[in-house]
């Protein structure tokens, strides 16, 4: 399954429907509020379970093959976003580290105690300080197979299940969404406008919506297979949480599902703007 999908992905990722590259949609962002809000986001990872053993993955789903798949997804995102960004805005390529089981990587971000944030094989995070996506290949393989048993609040409460190749692709697209937020604010200061910083929840739901935009482009190019959208919906719900009183609340399962769907439904960046509006 992996080899077939990666081959299909790599083979048609560069296809562009007639006229699409010449008509980039406008992406309206509240630049200053996003930039200030990103400073408030603490990197988060999935907590490993002491009862979860290293998966007996079939030959086609290994940390090495996952790295190749993640490379393909990232390359597809890097082809999509220059077309979707506002005219005249170049979105630079984001750095990435696919973390192998047993490895730890120190990032340029800081944790709640002010110490360097260390990403491991269960990490899925974007660090704006070094403009890098960190994602563990063990986490990706476990999500692919639907055997990630801990670390997702929504799934633990019976909301969705992190599963499938498109579930993994959603995770990469979500973290790339944070790169889009970061790069647009840092490269277009003349477009900033005043307003209160965005809450973590708004930034996370906005990144979910941006991930949905990319998924819509895959759909429009005829590359979404039966079951792919369901995998993404299920994974989005699985990563939701219920800690609504916390500054680190990322959105409930239903809110995150609705945000991804908002981007996926029409592929219109304007549909994501609502997540950047001031909350009452």
Name 98's bridge partners. Answer: 135
d(Cα 91, Cα 260) in Å, to the nearest integer? Answer: 21
Number of domains in the chain: 1
Position 51 in a domain? no
For 199-211, letters b (16+ CB in 10 Å) and e give: bbbbbbbbbbbbb
Position 24 in a domain? yes
Residues 270 and 208: beta-carbon distance below 8 Å: no
Position 67 in a domain? no
Position 54 in a domain? no
Q: What is the residue range of 252's domain?
A: 2-13+20-44+72-93+146-276
Position 29 in a domain? yes
pLDDT in tens, the chain (280 residues): 322 233 222 223 233 333 333 323 333 334 334 444 444 443 333 332 333 233 233 345 777 788 999 999 999 999 999 888 777 667 778 999 999 999 999 999 998 888 999 999 899 999 999 999 999 999 999 999 999 878 899 999 999 999 999 999 999 999 999 999 887 766 545 445 456 677 899 999 999 999 999 999 999 999 988 889 999 999 999 999 999 999 889 999 999 999 999 999 989 888 998 888 766 5
Position 180 in a domain? yes
Position 236 in a domain? yes
Position 127 in a domain? no
Q: What Å distances lie between residue 6 and 23, 64, 73, 169, 254, CA to CA? A: 28, 13, 9, 11, 30
Q: Is the pTM of this model over 0.75?
A: yes
Q: Within 13 A of 53's CA, how many CA atoms are on the CB side?
A: 3
């Amino acid at each position: 399954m992996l080899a077939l999908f990666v081959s299909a992905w790599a083979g048609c990722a560069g296809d562009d429907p007639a006229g699409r590259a010449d008509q980039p949609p406008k992406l309206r962002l509240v630049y200053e509020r996003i930039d200030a809000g990103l400073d408030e986001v603490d990197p988060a990872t999935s907590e490993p379970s002491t009862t979860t053993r290293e998966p007996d993955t079939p030959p086609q789903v290994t940390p090495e093959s996952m790295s190749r798949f993640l490379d393909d997804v990232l390359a597809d995102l890097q082809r999509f976003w220059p077309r979707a960004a506002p005219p005249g805005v170049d979105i630079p390529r984001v750095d990435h580290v696919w973390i192998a089981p047993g490895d730890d990587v120190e990032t340029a971000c800081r944790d709640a105690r002010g110490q360097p944030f260390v990403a491991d094989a269960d990490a899925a995070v974007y660090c704006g300080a070094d403009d890098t996506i960190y994602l563990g290949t063990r986490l990706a393989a476990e999500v692919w197979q639907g055997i990630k048993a801990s670390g997702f609040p929504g799934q633990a409460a019976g909301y969705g299940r992190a599963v499938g190749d498109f579930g993994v692709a959603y995770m990469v697209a979500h973290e790339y969404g944070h790169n889009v937020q970061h790069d647009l604010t840092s490269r277009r200061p003349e477009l900033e406008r005043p307003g209160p910083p965005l809450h973590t929840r708004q930034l996370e739901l906005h990144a979910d919506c941006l991930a949905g935009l990319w998924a819509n482009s895959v759909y429009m190019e005829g590359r979404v297979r039966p079951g792919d959208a369901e995998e993404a919906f299920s994974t989005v719900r699985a990563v939701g949480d219920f800690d609504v009183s916390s500054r680190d609340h990322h959105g409930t399962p239903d809110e995150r599902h609705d945000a991804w769907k908002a981007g996926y439904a029409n592929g219109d960046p304007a549909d994501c703007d609502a997540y950047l509006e001031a909350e009452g």
